[in-house]
């Protein structure tokens, strides 16, 4: 193809932060833990969640406020408040700041990221934006609200997904449950808890391989677009 198709842009992900943290905090967590070899191969947009924190944050005293939350829930995690507003807010971000090649989420942001492809496929969310193509899930789990879960996981999650599972993460059993719904998961195990981990050699290799795969898909799309433009120009000529 021409040189235009040969220049591949970096994969671009929408980063969804954890409960009662912020986009700035997730950015700091990732940029202080992940090496340059990863950071130079991915662009991440870090919005704040729509709702100011309605209680104490677990990172208070570690990271500066303000803190935000995507939606609220009861202590059993089965009843959600402002969930539809959250979905509309994420869709608006994608419309205004996209397109994106995937979602990257940590904790509450990872639960959202893992459930959105299924909700989108059912027409329950993100109906005005392109299909979610890739997922990076850090400390994730499934939705526990019965109605939301039924819609999110009734069909397998077909898009490629990369999952970070911490040996001491309290969400690990639930992260394993999410894996069962994914058709094409890659799993990076790490010894830490509920956190953004550093990479060991094996994990780094898997991360770079995943990003290379996303990059390859981007190139393929660019080539298709270029062919279409060339065909249109030929017709007009």
Model pLDDT for residues 117-135, shown as the tens digit of each residue: 999 999 999 999 999 999 9
pLDDT band at 108 (very low <50, low <70, confident <90, very high): very high
How many CB atoms lie under 10 A from the CB of residue 36? 8
CATH number at residue 118: 3.40.50.1820
Task: Say yes or no to pLDDT of 3 above 70.
Answer: no
Number of folded domains that form the chain: 1
In this structure, is residue 154 part of a structural domain?
A: yes
pLDDT in tens, 207-234: 999 999 999 999 998 887 677 666 666 6
In this structure, is residue 89 part of a structural domain?
A: yes
Task: Give the C-alpha separation, 182 to 15, whole Å.
Answer: 20
Task: Say yes or no to pLDDT of 1 above 50.
Answer: no
- What pTM does this model have? 0.93
Residue 147: domain span = 12-236
In this structure, is residue 5 part of a structural domain?
A: no
In this structure, is residue 159 part of a structural domain?
A: yes
In this structure, is residue 1 part of a structural domain?
A: no
Q: Specify the length of the chain in residues.
A: 237
In this structure, is residue 4 part of a structural domain?
A: no
In this structure, is residue 16 part of a structural domain?
A: yes
Distances (CA, A) of 134 to 34, 72, 73, 169: 19, 26, 27, 23
In this structure, is residue 54 part of a structural domain?
A: yes
């Amino acid at each position: 193809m021409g040189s235009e198709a040969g220049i591949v842009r970096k994969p671009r992900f929408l980063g969804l932060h954890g409960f009662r943290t912020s986009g700035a905090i997730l950015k700091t967590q990732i940029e202080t833990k992940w090496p340059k070899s990863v950071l130079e191969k991915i662009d991440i947009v870090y919005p704040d969640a729509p709702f100011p924190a309605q209680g104490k944050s677990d990172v208070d005293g570690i990271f500066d406020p303000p803190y935000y939350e995507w939606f609220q829930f009861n202590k059993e995690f089965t009843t959600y408040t402002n969930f539809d507003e959250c979905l509309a807010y994420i869709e608006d971000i994608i419309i205004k700041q996209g397109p994106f090649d995937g979602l990257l989420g940590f904790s509450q942001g990872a639960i959202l990221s893992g459930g959105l492809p299924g909700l989108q496929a059912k027409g329950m969310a993100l109906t005005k934006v392109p299909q979610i193509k890739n997922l990076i899930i850090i400390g994730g789990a499934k939705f526990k609200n019965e109605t939301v879960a039924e819609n999110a996981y009734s069909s397998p999650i077909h898009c490629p997904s990369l999952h970070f599972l911490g040996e001491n993460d309290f969400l690990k059993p639930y992260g394993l449950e999410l894996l069962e719904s994914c058709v094409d998961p890659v799993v990076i195990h790490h010894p830490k808890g509920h956190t953004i981990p550093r990479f060991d050699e094996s994990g780094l290799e898997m991360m770079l391989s995943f990003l290379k795969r996303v990059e390859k898909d981007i190139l393929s799309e660019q080539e298709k677009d270029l062919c279409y433009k060339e065909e249109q120009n030929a017709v007009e000529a």
